[in-house]
Each structure stands twice: as structure tokens, then as C-alpha cells.
């Protein structure tokens, strides 16, 4: 594993040249997982239509499995759901 310098961490913003140089793992950041039910919505006129979307019960199972897997792959205390 490579050592990340403070200068590299400071340049780790999208505004910095070269894009992201370090990861969440490198920086020991917390992760907030937020569900986004609008990903499968389509517009019908001015209103979104979610009839083709997965049911809330099915989607919740997948969302919770994802959070569980994130906790296993990373530090579970640093993975939050919202």
C-alpha cells in the first residue's frame, strides 16, 4: 500500500488538476449510502412515472444487502445509511 502525502490529500478535489488521487479507503472517510428511487423514473409530461420501477419491498432488500456488503468490505462503523 502506498503512502499518501498531505499535499496529495489536499489536491484530492475535482477542482484539482488530475482528478481524484486517493480513495475513501486511503482517507479513512465515512460513507453515506442514500437510496435513489428516481433512477428508473421516466417523465410523462411534467410528472415522473415510476410504474416500471421495482417494488419498494424488493428494492429495500437490495439496498440493505448493499449496505451490508459495504460494511463487510470497509469498516462497518464508517458506513451509514440515509
Query: Is residue 75 flagged as an active site residue?
Result: no
Q: What is the 3-state secondary structure (H, E, C) of the chain?
A: CCCCCHHHHHCCCCCCCCCCCCCHHHHCCCEEECCCHHHHCEEECCEEECCCCCCHHHHHHHHHHHHHHHHHHCCHHHEEEC
Catalytic pick from 3, 5, 22, 38?
38
Q: Which sequence positions are flagged as catalytic?
A: 38
Amino acid at each position: 500500500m502506498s503512502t499518501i502525502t498531505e499535499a496529495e490529500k489536499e489536491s484530492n478535489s475535482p477542482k484539482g488538476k488530475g482528478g481524484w488521487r486517493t480513495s475513501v479507503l486511503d482517507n479513512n472517510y465515512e460513507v453515506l449510502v442514500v437510496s435513489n428511487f428516481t433512477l428508473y423514473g421516466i417523465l410523462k409530461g411534467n410528472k415522473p412515472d415510476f410504474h416500471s420501477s421495482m417494488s419498494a419491498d424488493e428494492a429495500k432488500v437490495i439496498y440493505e444487502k448493499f449496505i451490508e456488503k459495504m460494511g463487510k468490505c470497509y469498516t462497518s462503523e464508517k458506513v451509514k445509511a440515509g
